[in-house]
Amino acid sequence: MAAVNKVERALVDQWRDILALHAHTQCELDRALHPHGLCASDFEVLDLLSERTAPEESGAYRVQEISERVHLSQSALSRLVARLEKDGLVERAMCAEDRRGVRVALTAKGSDLYREVLPIHRAVLAKMLAG
């Protein structure tokens, strides 16, 4: 019985370490990105959207596709996309294949800001996840 408790305790401790690393990393990202008008979640969406900039791609993700890749509720994601659109960083358009769907793409301003803050984001990740 004691061995099981020890194994369970180690598992719980490992889980809590993961949660603490995530929370600390999110805070550091928020702090580093704030001077640029972004938070970590904003950057995650811009980072995802930046993957579809090649001419042969549609240049946009459906909101449903974004929600599957970022860890936000549908309503939180909708508010975030609305804010990014208001700031001129993304644009929304009706999905041609499904009129109920909405596509989101980076604007030129969003792409420029993304390239500007990308090294900052990656430096924070390197620092926080380095062992």
**Distant-in-sequence, close-in-space partners of 80: CB < 8 Å, separation ≥ 6:** 41, 42, 45, 72
What is the full DSSP assignment across 32-44?
HHGGGT--HHHHH
Residue 71's pLDDT is: 87
Write the pLDDT tens digit of every residue in 44-93: 999 999 987 544 445 688 888 898 899 888 889 999 999 999 999 999 98
Mean pLDDT for 102-130 is 95
Rounded to two decimals, what is the model's pTM?
0.85
Distance in angstroms (rounded) separating the CA atoms of residues 115 and 103:
21
Pick the more confident residue, 2 or 81.
81
The length of the chain is: 131
